[in-house]
């Protein structure tokens, strides 16, 4: 045993101790090196074989070895032993915490947020909520809504037509049987299409229910349009219908103003502009005062002070009589508007595709 060997063993044992991560390793180390039968004791035994001249120096070095290894062992034991006590030997308490996104538990999509808020406002005004099928027939989507046979809205350009399979009747009947204003009571007839608006649900409701009727009808609609920042082939609408004796345009205006004040703020104003829809007469488009600038003019309202919100009007006598309601004794109003456009205006979303791509970075802002 030379001086050099003593130094090498010392460095090796200290390095071993430094590398230890578990308390179990310490126990094994103690057994191998620090007991009566361990490495260090054996080296002391070997001192006898060292020459007289080298013995004092070797003894000194060996004492130094034992002392430094025992000290380092005690330090390590304290460190690892403390972790063992807390049962945390496998956890690194110095590791930085993982950040959890604030929105991780999930929340409503901005479209559904807008929709649910609108529904609850109308419910508080006494409106029922009705649903109809997304697959429609020409009669309900156009014919009974007083669209003439050659009306451009029926065009292939706008409407997605559905090619029925051999057993489509049974399939469609079964599919819609459970729906409130579904196709079970009045079956779908060819040609089939994806509804281009929620107005056919008005027809289904008047076919199955006698006045008084007071309902909103939310749902998804489809149009054969190329996707762009402003249009999507699928989007959402809410339809409204009130039919009773003596219903007037003043009732319509009152309900729409009330809705606007609840939805856009208590000092919102509305205005009705003359317009045309086949199923209403007279027809109007409703604008609401810009909720951003309050009507002064800004980027969102393109400096007009007004935002176009919805179509509305008095239900056309042809539509009422087509559903078995006498236009001499009853009248009604209807309205319909897009949920996507309103959501975009409300949150300043400039591209409708953002609402459908489900990019987490977009959604977590709501
Ligand atoms: N169905 C129309 C559309 O999709 C919107 C509409 C306008 C609905 C006037 C109505 C209404 O009920 O009275 O463009």
Of all atoms in ligand 1, which is nearest to the CA of residue 196?
Answer: 4
How many domains is the chain partitioned into structurally? 2
Is 175 a member of any domain? Answer: no
Distance of alpha carbon 79 from the chain centroid: 47
For ligand 1, mutation pick of 194, 202, 277 (most atoms within 8 Å of CB)? 277
286, 244: one domain: yes
| Enclosing domain of residue 249 | 110-136+149-160+195-363
321, 275: one domain: yes
Atom 4 of ligand 1 has which residue's CA nearest to it?
Answer: 197
Residue 182 tokens, joined:
């579904």
66, 202: one domain: no
Q: Is 145 in the pocket of ligand 1 (CB under 6 A)?
A: no
114, 34: one domain: no
For ligand 1, mutation pick of 127, 158, 196, 199 (most atoms within 8 Å of CB)? 199
212, 332: one domain: yes
What per-residue confidence (pLDDT) applies to 184?
A: 44
66, 127: one domain: no
Tell me the per-residue pLDDT of 57-104, one tens digit each, with 9 for 90 and over.
889 999 999 999 999 999 988 888 766 666 655 677 888 887 766 655
Is 176 a member of any domain? Answer: no
What per-residue confidence (pLDDT) applies to 182?
A: 47
Report how far residue 154's alpha carbon sits from residue 355's, in angstroms, rounded to the nearest whole number.
27
CB 283 within 8 A of CB 252: no
What per-residue confidence (pLDDT) applies to 218?
A: 98
- What's the gap in Å between 136 CA and the centre of ligand 1? 16
Question: What CATH number does the domain containing 292 carry?
Answer: 3.30.930.10
Of all atoms in ligand 1, which is nearest to the CA of residue 221?
Answer: 4
Is 143 a member of any domain? Answer: no
82, 202: one domain: no
What per-residue confidence (pLDDT) applies to 113?
A: 94
217, 359: one domain: yes
pTM: 0.69
254, 114: one domain: yes
Is 119 a member of any domain? Answer: yes
81, 225: one domain: no
Is 199 a member of any domain? Answer: yes
54, 121: one domain: no
Is 224 a member of any domain? Answer: yes
61, 204: one domain: no
Name the helix (H) or strand (E) containing 173.
Answer: helix 168-176
DSSP assignment string, 211-268: SPEEEEEEEEEE------SS--SEEEEEEEEEEETT--HHHHHHHHHHHHHHHH-TT-
Is 165 a member of any domain? Answer: no
| Bridging pattern class, strands 331-338 and 306-315 | antiparallel
Residue numbers in the chain where pLDDT is lower than 50 = 177-179, 182-185
| DSSP code, position 352 | G
CB 346 within 8 A of CB 355: no
Share of the chain above pLDDT 70, in %: 89
Is 96 a member of any domain? Answer: no
């Amino acid at each position: 045993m030379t001086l050099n060997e003593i130094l090498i063993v010392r460095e090796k044992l200290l390095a071993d101790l430094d590398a230890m991560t578990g308390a179990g390793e310490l126990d094994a180390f103690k057994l191998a090196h620090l007991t009566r039968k361990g490495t260090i004791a054996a080296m002391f035994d070997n001192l006898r074989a060292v020459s007289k001249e080298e013995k004092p120096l070797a003894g000194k070095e060996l004492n130094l070895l034992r002392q430094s290894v025992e000290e380092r062992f005690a330090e390590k034991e304290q460190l690892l032993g403390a972790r063992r006590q807390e049962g945390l030997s496998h956890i690194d308490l110095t590791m930085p915490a993982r950040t959890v996104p604030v929105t991780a538990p999930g929340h409503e999509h901005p479209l559904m947020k807008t929709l649910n808020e609108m529904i609850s406002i109308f419910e508080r005004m006494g409106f029922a909520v009705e649903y109809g099928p997304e697959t429609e027939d020409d009669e309900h989507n156009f014919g009974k809504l007083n669209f003439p046979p050659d009306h451009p809205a029926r065009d292939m350009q706008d409407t997605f037509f559905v090619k029925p399979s051999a057993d489509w009747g049974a399939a469609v009947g079964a599919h819609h049987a459970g729906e409130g204003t579904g196709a079970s009571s009045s079956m779908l007839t060819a040609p089939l299409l994806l509804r281009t608006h929620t107005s056919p649900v008005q027809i289904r409701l008047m076919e199955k229910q006698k006045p008084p009727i007071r309902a909103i009808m939310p749902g998804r609609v489809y149009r054969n349009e190329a996707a762009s920042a402003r249009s999507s082939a699928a989007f959402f609408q809410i339809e409204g219908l009130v039919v009773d004796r003596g219903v007037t345009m003043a009732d319509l205006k009152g309900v729409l103003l009330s809705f606007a004040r609840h939805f856009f703020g208590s000092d919102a104003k509305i205005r009705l502009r003359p317009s045309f829809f086949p199923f209403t007469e007279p027809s109007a488009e409703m604008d609401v005062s810009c909720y951003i600038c309050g009507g002064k003019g800004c980027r969102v309202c393109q400096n007009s002070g007004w935002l176009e919100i919805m179509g509305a009007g008095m239900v056309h006598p042809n539509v009422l009589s087509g559903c078995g309601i006498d236009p001499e004794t009853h009248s009604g109003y209807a309205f319909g508007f897009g949920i996507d456009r309103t959501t975009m205006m409300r949150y300043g979303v400039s591209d409708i595709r953002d609402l459908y791509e489900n990019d987490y970075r977009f959604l977590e802002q709501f």
